[in-house]
Chain A
Amino acid sequence: DVKVTQSSRYLVKRTGEKVFLECVQDMDHENMFWYRQDPGLGLRLIYFSYDVKMKEKGDIPEGYSVSREKKERFSLILESASTNQTSMYLCASSFGGGPNQPQHFGDGTRLSIL
């Protein structure tokens, strides 16, 4: 089975802090994604990566950056955390075979910014 592991289930940080969310997958997937999930809004794509050191903005990239130095690891960075970034963050990965490939999700990180 595909395993997508997010480093923390719950995280509490203060405004202005630099926050790192880590995600690791064990299936040699080319694609990796970061979403945020908010009630009534579903999942919104922040950034994705289709290869090592390659990244592309999603629908809501403002206030975030990403890093993919190794194929199995994809990090989301909140440069200066703000209270409106309090949310559930989900990481996903998939094979690079095209848009018909399903995505596999981690269990999420619930981030609170105080």
Chain B
Amino acid sequence: AQSVTQLDSQVPVFEEAPVELRCNYSSSVSVYLFWYVQYPNQGLQLLLKYLSGSTLVKGINGFEAEFNKSQTSFHLRKPSVHISDTAEYFCAVSGLRAAGNKLTFGGGTRVLVKP
């Protein structure tokens, strides 16, 4: 079975400051990793994904994440946030099942960017 833990439920941050959102997963098999963002009153949008290759993955809106296999982590970072980054962020993992590509989500991290 897979599980995903997002270590911070809420992260307040000032505009133009850096932010890091932590994500740890547990799985007995190789995984694919995703970060999604949910803006208020909307569904989830894909920010970035790690499938294989380089452990540093760049996504949309200036976000990046680093896959660390030994620590089973996939932390999300942005060097300088904007007010528009206020949203909830979800880390998710998918195992190697052939059909259905089920995702297991973390509990989410709510980011509040303050002016």
Q: Is B115 an interface residue (CB 8 A)?
A: no
| Interface of chain A: mostly helix, strand, loop or mixed | strand
Q: How far is the CB of A1 from chain B (nearest CB, A)?
A: 11
8 A Cβ contacts from B72-115 to A: 90, 94-103, 105-108
Name A32's closest neighbour in chain B (CB-CB): B100
**Which residue of chain B lies nearest to A39 when distances are taken between CB atoms in the complex?**
B108
Tell me the A residues contacting B by CB distance below 8 Å: 4, 31, 33, 35, 40-45, 48, 50, 56, 58, 90, 92, 94, 96, 98-108
Please, how many residues of chain B have a CB less than 8 angstroms from a CB on the other chain?
A: 29
Q: Is the CB of B45 within 8 A of A45?
A: no
**Contact yes or no, B34 A90, CB < 8 A:** no
**Distance between Cα atoms of A31 and B103 in the complex (Å):** 12
